[in-house]
């Protein structure tokens, strides 16, 4: 089977979500809303988890819907997962070194990475019909 080219426009939802994440992650510290009880419960980790689940699902959806081989789709999925995990750690370094009032939080990156792994599981488990 010949690999089908996926039109870039199909990635638009993922690109828009990625830009929203960049905006949120790179807000200066004083502009980030804080809710005392949420901070004590570390709910921001749940938010990080969810943001990255959505990112992977949106980025992989056009590949799932393509007519490409299962091997091609799996390569894409794992490449996207690695890129998202790297993106998560890079955002932490950027926050630490370049964004006023923000800091490096390894647990944010762990939550990001867990969200990526959950998305890979979700895609493999629930979108199996497309493979």
2 falls within a domain = no
- pLDDT confidence of residue 43: 87
11 falls within a domain = no
Question: Which one, of 122, 4, 6, 125, lies nearest residue 56 by Cα?
Answer: 122
Give me 102's structure tokens: 């923000």
Residues 6 or more apart whose Cβ sits within 8 Å of residue 73? 63, 64, 66, 130, 131
36 falls within a domain = no
SS3 99: coil
68 falls within a domain = yes
* Number of domain units in the chain: 1
- pLDDT confidence of residue 36: 59
- pLDDT confidence of residue 31: 63
Owning domain of residue 90: 51-131
21 falls within a domain = no
60 falls within a domain = yes
Give me 10's structure tokens: 């199909």
- Model confidence at 30, pLDDT cuts 50, 70, 90, reads confident
Q: What is the pLDDT of residues 1-28, one digit of tens each?
A: 567 789 999 999 999 999 999 999 999 9
pTM for the structure as a whole = 0.88
Residues 46 and 111 sit within 8 Å (Cβ to Cβ): yes
97 falls within a domain = yes
Burial annotation 26-53 (CB, 10 A radius, 16+ → b, else e): ebeeeeeeeeeeeeeeeebbeebbebbb
- Model confidence at 86, pLDDT cuts 50, 70, 90, reads very high
56 falls within a domain = yes
Q: What is the pLDDT of residues 37-71, one digit of tens each?
A: 555 557 899 999 999 999 999 999 999 888 888 89
- Model confidence at 111, pLDDT cuts 50, 70, 90, reads very high
């Amino acid at each position: 089977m010949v690999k089908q080219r996926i039109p870039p426009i199909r990635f638009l939802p993922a690109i828009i979500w990625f830009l929203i994440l960049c905006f949120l992650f790179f807000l200066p510290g004083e502009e980030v809303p804080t809710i005392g009880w949420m901070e004590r419960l570390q709910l921001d980790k749940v938010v990080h988890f969810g943001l990255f689940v959505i990112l992977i699902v949106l980025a992989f959806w056009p590949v799932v819907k393509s007519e490409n081989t299962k091997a091609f789709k799996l390569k894409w999925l794992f490449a996207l997962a690695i890129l998202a995990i790297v993106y998560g750690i890079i955002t932490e370094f950027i926050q630490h070194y370049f964004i006023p009032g923000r800091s490096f939080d390894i647990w944010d990156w762990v939550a990001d990475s867990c969200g990526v792994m959950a998305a890979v599981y979700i895609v493999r488990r629930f979108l199996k019909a497309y493979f």
